[in-house]
């Protein structure tokens, strides 16, 4: 079967691999579409994750059950695989159903970190790592994984503000990548006003999409993150979805009292002077919080399916506009548009 | 009546003031004891809060109802006043019973920031800002306020980790001041191991008290905060109770995956180079959080009364060893021992 693998940084290749033979408890899934995001590009560039000799790329997938192999699935069901797997035997995090809380040495991540991903015609997936979704959601099913990342982050955010009356007036998403853009309609349902900060021109399709779901665009070349309160208003929530290292401290400066910043991006090293006293004071005196979040658990994937079903059609259209056949996987990995994906069985 | 007031930084004075005449809804309270903490010393030094011409000092008080003045209190009941008051009319935070969540411009703080404190023979307190406690707790009743600060912080901490299975293996308190020391026995009931980091010699009474409640002492002159995981183990909780600005970033480095650091201290300005990429990554990839917390609400004061009642007798003894008569208030403000307090009606 065809698969896109990475053997050395910068050079993903389309290769022939044997079709996997599902072990007991595993489902054979025919992959339909695989989304591409910034993490995939970092993996290809060798800047994220780890590749042991050869790794199939892709972690945002939707497929169809080809062989239930004795599990509770039915042939033809539309499914999405989760990303994390135990490295060897199940450990406590996987036993609890909280793989997203596993430290990095207690998990591998399909297509990212030490395990084959989903950009292949067939994959064998243990049934507990598969999620059903309605067939009508199949064309955009590769958005379940990124939406699950937002679902987990917002669960942590909401929990952190649960002891008091948290005012949901304004939320700001940092980043106009696919994760940031997908988060906007979710926040639009929960906050009075939603802002989106990026480095794109106003006529860029990503900015137009952000504005089409009701977000106010802030060009970071004109207004820095910590200037947002002065230029617009202080934010009750900031979602950092770029991985730009200075954003952690800058986000705190953008927060209203009692606000919280969720960090989702994974930055590279970046040393810089910081006014630590001010950062510390703003956190304490303003009851502010900074919350890191990575990956997602099964319940977050389930939440993501609900959110996917509720996405405006214009968003789904924009996110499924650039789907390439497998032979053109390099275009999907290269192009900086709202979202790209690879289709395996057109 | 006698009162200790601050008119200019550095020079608190014992003065004669008219006994307050309680307005409708206010209770006349005879103050028994007032604790002194680092915030009081900063207020006296002019480094914290704001003093409008003249302010009675003290925010950690216990007293006795002298005149219920038509409220539901009874003469002779032991009471503790809370610290925050609305500046002028009640605002939404006070109406909700969440004065601790009020931004600084929506509250004053008795004895700290824009309102008279409790280091006076009598104070008039609106009944909604008074808490009853059992008379047997009266001698250490001035510890309710600092314990309430811990109660609020731990409520925010627990809430932030509620969505997953948080392992409570190890907690580290930064600071051997009264707030840090009071937090140790509370954490000792909740964590397998408790550590306390400070800059005191091992024969210092504060260190001996920390060890007497089961904490492992870490001398920060030998082991920096971010070296704690290497020297001991990574921490599931860090409670920052010093206000040393670099601690916010260093605390994250001391955390185990899924850990949380609560910041309680209020530092002055401190600019320093920070490896922001690493800080950001540790937060994200390790699902870590930094949570600021200030002041406390009524429910936290109630929790603090329960905790005070459960404090080991040795801790209560150590915290009530240095109680000075009012005439010696300067000794109480000056001395760096576990805890000092002023007694108004010996």
Region A245-267 average pLDDT = 96
Q: Are residues A94 and A230 in the same domain?
A: no
Q: From the list B161, B248, B290, which residue is nearest A276 (CB)?
A: B248
- Res. A346: pLDDT tops 60: no
Residues B173 and B267 in one domain: yes
Please indicate, yes or no, if residue A206 is contained in any of the structural domains: yes
The answer as to whether A339 is a domain residue is: yes
Q: Is the dihedral of CA A90, A91, A96, A99 positive or negative?
A: negative
Distance (Å, rounded) from C-alpha A329 to C-alpha A344? 10
**B206 shares a domain with B74:** no
Question: Residue B345 has what pLDDT?
Answer: 76
Chain B residue closest in CA terms to A149: B284
| Non-local CB neighbours of B253 within 8 Å, separated by 6+ positions | B225, B226, B229, B278, B279, B282
Residues of chain A in contact with residue B238, where contact means CB-CB under 8 angstroms, are none
Express each pLDDT in B305-343 by its tens digit: 999 999 999 999 999 999 999 999 999 999 889 999 999
Residue A269 lies in a domain: yes
Asked if the structure places residue B306 within a domain, the reply is: no
**Do B292 and A279 make contact, defined as CB atoms within 8 angstroms?**
no
Is residue A125 located within the same domain as residue A158? Answer: no
A50 pLDDT more than 80? no
Average pLDDT of the segment spanning B207-213: 97
Question: What is the residue-wise DSSP string for A107-172?
Answer: -EEETTBEE--S-BSEEEEEGGGEEE--GGGGGGGGGHHHHHHHHHHHHHHHHHTTTS-----EEE
Distance from C-alpha of A74 to C-alpha of A63, rounded to nearest angstrom: 13
Nearest CA-CA distance, residue B101 and chain A, Å: 7
**Residue % of chain A over a pLDDT of 70:** 99
Q: How far is A97 from chain B (nearest CA, A)?
A: 10
Residue A47 confidence (pLDDT): 80
Predicted local distance difference test score (pLDDT) of residue B254 = 98
Look at residue B140 and tell me if it is in a domain.
no
Domain span holding position B88: 2-132+312-343
Q: Are residues A190 and A252 in the same domain?
A: yes
pLDDT band per the 50, 70, 90 thresholds, residue B26: very high
Distance, CA of B272 to CA of A272 (rounded, Å): 8
Q: Are residues A35 and A164 in the same domain?
A: no
**Does the residue A119 lie in any domain?**
yes
pLDDT in tens, A55-72: 999 999 999 999 999 999
Query: With an 8 Å Cβ cutoff, is A103 touching chain B?
Result: yes
Here the tokens at position A12 are 């993903």
Searching chain A, which residue's CA lies closest to the CA of residue B295? A285
Determine contact, residues A180/A217, Cβ cutoff 8 Å. no
Residue B224 has pLDDT above 60, yes or no: yes
What local confidence, expressed as pLDDT, does residue B47 receive?
81
Q: Does A16 touch chain B (CB under 8 A)?
A: no
**Domain count of the fold of chain A:** 2
Does A249 reach chain B within 8 Å, measured CB to CB?
yes
pLDDT category at A299 given cuts 50, 70, 90 is very high
Q: What percent of chain B has pLDDT over 90?
A: 95
pLDDT band at A160 (very low <50, low <70, confident <90, very high): very high
The answer on B177 and B209 residing in a single domain is yes
pLDDT at B52 over 90: no
Mutate to test the interface with B, among A97, A265, A274 (most CBs of B within 10 A): A274
Same domain for A264 and A336?
no
| Tokens encoding A31 | 């992959």
* Same domain flag for B18 and B86: yes
According to the model, what pLDDT value does residue B48 have?
75
pLDDT category at A336 given cuts 50, 70, 90 is confident
Quote the minimal CA–CA distance from B288 to chain A in Å.
5
Residues 274-303 of B with CB under 8 A from A: 274-294, 297
3-state secondary structure of B177: coil
* Domain CATH number, residue B333: 3.90.180.10
Q: Tell me the pLDDT band of B346, cut-offs 50, 70 and 90.
A: low
In a domain, B305, yes or no: no
User: At residue B33, does pLDDT exceed 60?
Assistant: yes
Q: Interface pTM (ipTM) of the complex?
A: 0.97
Considering only CB atoms, which chain B residues are within 8 Å of A96? Answer: 165
Rounded CA separation B19/B124 (Å): 9
* Residue B56 CA, distance from chain mean position: 18
Average pLDDT (B186-214) is 97
Nearest chain A alpha carbon to B92: A165
B157 and B126 in a common domain:
no
Q: Are both A239 and A273 inside the same structural domain? A: yes
Q: Looking at the structure, tell me whether residues B159 and B286 fall in a common domain.
A: yes
Question: Does A146 score more than 80 pLDDT?
Answer: yes
Strand partners, A3: A15, A120
In this complex, do B247 and A163 lie within 8 Å of one another by their Cβ atoms?
A: no
H-only helix segments in chain B: 38-45, 92-95, 144-160, 178-188, 205-212, 228-231, 247-254, 276-285, 298-310, 313-319, 329-334
Look at A25-34, A44-53, B69-78, B175-184 and tell me which has the smallest mean pLDDT.
A44-53
**CATH number of the domain encompassing residue A228:** 3.40.50.720
Does residue A306 fall inside a structural domain?
Answer: no
């Amino acid at each position: 079967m065809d698969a896109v693998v990475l053997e050395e940084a910068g050079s993903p290749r389309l290769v022939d691999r044997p079709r996997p033979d599902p072990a007991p408890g595993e489902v054979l899934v025919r992959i339909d579409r695989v989304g591409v995001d910034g993490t995939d590009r970092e993996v290809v560039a060798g800047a994220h994750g780890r590749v042991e000799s050869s790794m199939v790329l892709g972690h945002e997938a939707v497929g169809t059950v080809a062989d239930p192999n004795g599990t509770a699935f039915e042939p033809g069901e539309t499914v999405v695989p989760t990303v994390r797997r135990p490295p060897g035997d199940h450990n406590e995090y996987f036993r609890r159903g909280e793989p997203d809380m596993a430290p990095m040495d207690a998990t591998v991540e399909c297509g990212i970190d030490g395990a084959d991903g989903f950009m292949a015609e067939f994959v064998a997936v243990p049934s507990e790592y598969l999620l059903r979704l309605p067939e009508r959601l199949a064309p955009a099913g590769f958005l379940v994984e990124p939406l699950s990342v937002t679902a987990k982050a917002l669960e942590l955010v909401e929990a952190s503000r649960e002891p008091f009356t948290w005012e949901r007036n304004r939320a700001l998403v940092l980043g106009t990548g696919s994760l940031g853009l997908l988060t906007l309609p979710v926040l639009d349902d929960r906050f009075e006003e939603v802002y989106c900060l990026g480095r794109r021109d106003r006529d860029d399709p990503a900015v137009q999409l952000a504005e089409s779901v009701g977000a106010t665009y802030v060009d970071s070349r004109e207004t820095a993150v910590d200037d947002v309160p002065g230029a617009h208003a202080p934010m009750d929530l900031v979602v950092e979805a770029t991985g730009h290292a200075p954003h952690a401290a800058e986000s705190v400066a953008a927060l209203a009292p009692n606000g919280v910043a969720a960090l989702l991006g994974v930055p590279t090293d970046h040393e810089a002077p910081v006014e630590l006293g001010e950062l510390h004071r703003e956190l304490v005196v303003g009851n502010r919080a900074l919350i890191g979040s990575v990956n997602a658990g099964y319940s977050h994937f389930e939440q993501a399916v609900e959110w996917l079903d509720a996405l405006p059609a214009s968003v789904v259209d924009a996110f499924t506009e650039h789907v390439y056949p497998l032979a053109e996987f390099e275009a999907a990995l290269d192009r900086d548009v709202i979202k790209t994906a690879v289709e395996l069985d057109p």
